[in-house]
Amino acid sequence: MMKKDEKIFKKIKKSLNVFIMGHKNLDLDALGSSIAIGYLCKRLKKDFYIIIEDNKHEESIKKALKYIEKNINYKFGTFKDFEKKYKENSLVIILDTYSEKQSQCPKLCLKSNNKIIIDHHLFGKPLEGFFINSKVSSTCEMIATIFYNKHYRIPKEIATMLLAGIIIDSNGYCNKTTAKTMEIVTYLFKRNADNNMAHSFNRTKIAEYKTMQNLIFKTSFFKKKYAFIICEENKIYERELLAKICNSLLNFENIEAGFVIGKIDKETINICARSINIDVASILKKFGGGGHYNNAAAQIKESSLLNLKNKIKEELK
């Protein structure tokens, strides 16, 4: 049977060009893996176009995009910017999500019959063109493994972006980190990945840290092992900040799962969930979200933060 790596290579080689995109509301794993797939296309002598439709970016993505612009110089744009380049035998590669609706450009997914999906989130029945591995830390680890298996001497900037994606999705090697993860990280270090730069994308500002502390002091508990943080009703928060707060809950003794609930815009509430050994992904799937067994999120059009907390408590019962 043809290995997954070879299937991906064959698909790229047979295509006229490649359109690459991550999920909506980019994070460092989606962006890092997109950049790395762009590098793979470049090695295979295929033109590629990285699609970004987001109008707003988290701080870590703003920093990473500046780094890419300065050091890698890959071109980004909306599908409209590159639409004339799209042909019937173009390949679409979707990264860090198995949901086409959650991709940067669902319109492009509907248009194309030639697609690859590479993701590390939980997924049911495998389909043709899906490359899913829920046992790894990140999509960046999956792409870095392809380079590792091929003994590629990748540029330090590509290695740095892959390292950044692994760091963010493993919560600094705390979650879903295996011996293989560390082997891949070592490979990236040998390829001169800039560890300081990779960490710098996600550094917290002093003002953010104060906000985090104030919210952590408001933690409430359910059955003594589930921690909840309900943010201020009338305040808008960045998803990235809510994730950082949720990650920090697992540092405290006796907490088996944490949930942070806050508004990310006037109409949307974000639920962020982290756990030690509880399937929070299946809980948040009931709210239209998903993710890993112990790392998940959901975005909901709901008016009350407290109502969502009570609904989650019912699921936990």
What pLDDT is attached to residue 123? 67
Does 2 have pLDDT greater than 90?
Answer: no
Task: Tell me the pLDDT tens digit for each residue of 283-299.
Answer: 999 998 887 788 889 99
Number of domains in the chain: 2
What pLDDT is attached to residue 149? 95
Categorize the per-residue pLDDT at 175 as very low, low, confident or very high, splitting at 50, 70 and 90.
Answer: confident
**Domain match, 312 and 222 both:** yes
- Alpha-carbon distance of 309 to 101, in angstroms, equals 26
From 200, 216, 231, give the residue that closes a domain: 200
Does 1 have pLDDT greater than 50?
Answer: no
Task: Tell me the pLDDT tens digit for each residue of 90-105.
Answer: 999 999 998 899 899 9
- Alpha-carbon distance of 11 to 197, in angstroms, equals 33
**Domain match, 14 and 133 both:** yes
Q: What is the CATH number of the domain that holds 228?
A: 3.10.310.30
What pLDDT is attached to residue 126? 59
Contact between residue 246 and residue 257 where contact means Cβ atoms under 8 Å apart: no
**Domain match, 177 and 213 both:** no
**What sign does the CA torsion over 92, 98, 104, 106 have?**
positive
**Domain match, 136 and 245 both:** no
From 200, 229, 244, give the residue that closes a domain: 200
Q: What is the CATH number of the domain that holds 18?
A: 3.90.1640.10
- Alpha-carbon distance of 277 to 81, in angstroms, equals 44
**Domain match, 183 and 243 both:** no
What pLDDT is attached to residue 4? 80
Closest C-alpha to 291, from 246, 252, 251 = 246
What pLDDT is attached to residue 125? 56
How wide is the angle at C-alpha 284 spanned by C-alphas 180 and 313, nearest 5°?
A: 120
Domain of residue 54 covers 4-200
Residue % of the chain over a pLDDT of 90: 78
What pLDDT is attached to residue 124? 61
From 200, 226, 243, give the residue that closes a domain: 200
**Domain match, 167 and 217 both:** no
Strands 220-222 and 130-132: unpaired
**Domain match, 195 and 249 both:** no
